[in-house]
Amino acid sequence: MNKWMRKTLVILFTIATFGMVAPPAALTVENRSSEDSAVNLNVPQKHLFEDETAYWEAPSKEEHISSFLEAAEIQSFEKFGDKIGTKIEDEFRQIILPKMEEAIREYAEDYSDEDIRDLVISKKPADGKGEKIFHLYNKETGEDILRFHVRRDHPPKQGYWFNFHYHTHHDSFQKHHELGSIYWNQNMPPNWMTH
């Protein structure tokens, strides 16, 4: 396999796995002549990939945080479904999403560049009337760090509201940290994830 094809496959593999998995050895080993076949492959070859260093660097802390923010927005709109999402999209992007991003950044800053690699965003929001939008959790321990939820509120004679908030592991997820509320209307909203 020629060098540019190998580089292309390494780049695609790295992008597809967000740099979390090393590309297969078959893509990273240079073709060797028969004279080189006796080289001990267990000895690190420090200069072998000097020109490809950028492809092997783990994603930075900022890249991880950016991926969390992107996933947060995607999971939110998946939860809303079409019926709710189209109606509250503008207010959500203007009011709630910036506060959600601020909370994620604030808590992610507590993690080292290495430890942040263990954090991921859950992929399945609660449907029906469930509150869960997504959780930020440690994939190694399975423990939640942040839980982002939306609750339906129906104060007397005020119509229906969506109350966005989050919980943290610092207080065992007891306290509600408010992100804001968006008004729906006087009629009961459809279930989450309704299209």
Three-state SS across 104-133?
A: HHHHHCCCCCCHHHHEEECCCCCCECCCEE
Tell me: pLDDT of 87 over 70: yes
Helices (H) and strands (E) in the chain, counts: 5, 5
More reliable by pLDDT, 12 or 79: 79
Q: Are residues 85 and 27 in the same domain?
A: no
pTM of the model: 0.71
* Residue 81 placed within a domain: yes
* Residue 195 placed within a domain: no
Most confident of 9-13, 14-18, 49-53, 135-139: 135-139
Pairing of strands 119-121, 161-168: unpaired
Total domain count, the chain: 2
Across 51-55, 116-120, 133-137, 159-163, least confident range = 51-55
| Residue 143 per-residue DSSP state | -
Q: Kindly report the average pLDDT of the chain as a whole number.
A: 83
Pairing of strands 144-153, 132-138: antiparallel
Q: Are residues 33 and 66 in the same domain?
A: no
* Residue 156 placed within a domain: yes
Helix (H, G, I), strand (E, B) or coil at 158: coil
Find the domain containing 26 and state its range: 3-37+49-56
Q: Are residues 28 and 113 in the same domain?
A: no
| d(C-alpha 160, C-alpha 185), whole Å | 6
Q: Are residues 87 and 173 in the same domain?
A: yes
